Amino acid sequence: MKKFKIVGFLLILTLTSVVLEGCFKKGEEDPFISFRSRKARLSGEWTINVFTGDYFVKFNSGENREIDFHQTDKTTISEYTTYIDMTSATQDSLHAGQDTSIEWKGRVIEGKYIFREDGTFDYAYEYTLEKTISKYFEEGSDSVGIFAPVSDPFRIDSTLTRNYRTELRGRWNFLYNVDGYKKKERIVLEVENATYLTNYAVTYVYDFDDDDLEGVGDTSFSTQTLESVSHKYANGEYNLLWEIDMLKNLETKWSRTLDHIYTHALTGSEGYKHTHKGTELIEMAQEQE
């Protein structure tokens, strides 16, 4: 009888460990134990509340760019700055020998992931950037654009607006004990459909200092360019890999590293090459039911 009790106890212990295997801590900030598996905790709709991207891009022309993208809450982009280092650029490059810093104001329109228990996912991220550039023309300057030359000073305010939207669909799954990571510590997104939408708009406002200019008054006009790109991939052809640093019932943190080189060689030409490195961090939350 005692033997049967020992066997029964070991059987129960084994079954319990199998059932709870996915409930123990995986990521560095995970709870030590959860009675919901990682798959159950990840399933559902997630809102992106924090997105941080720090990138470095180097071109063969000698131009180097550092890009800082910081989303600090559901709708706020606190920083989108491009630092352009042209000190090593060729003389025929724009701003050769100069450093340039370009700052944008921005907001997030939509940022979400939807993970389903059947292994499919949807992703949508849309944001808008805006900046205003003012250029003042001294007295005696030639006019610009649609106006005839005038001798009085005037200013042109250009408002640039850029809207970007990315939509991804496909399948998701955890990686198991690859490259020294724990089981279910990383997630792979197998993209099957990708759509990229962009909208570039510029509004020009001509502001004349002298209101007495006969036949010429303050005026404005706008231009707009729309672009749509779609891709369809076979399963496993295009994958995105993220490390899951934390996964609680209603919160998750992910990170990943970017490091790739693009080279385009062409006979009789210098060709094209750039290096793209950086890190991305996202924090997401689910609504309390």
pTM of the model as a whole: 0.76
User: Tens digits of per-residue pLDDT, 41-69?
Assistant: 899 999 999 999 999 988 776 778 889 99
Show the domain range for 186: 2-285
191 vs 131, higher pLDDT: 191
d(CA 108, CA 125): 8
Query: How many domains does the chain divide into?
Result: 1
Can you give the pLDDT at residue 249? 80
In the numeric block, the tokens 């104001």 are attached to: 105
Cα–Cα distances in angstroms (integers) from residue 122 to residues 75, 81, 165, 167, 186, in the given order: 20, 29, 13, 7, 18
d(CA 34, CA 16): 14
CB count within 10 Å of CB 116 equals 13
**CB-count burial class (<10 Å; 0-12, 13-18, 19+) for 254:** buried
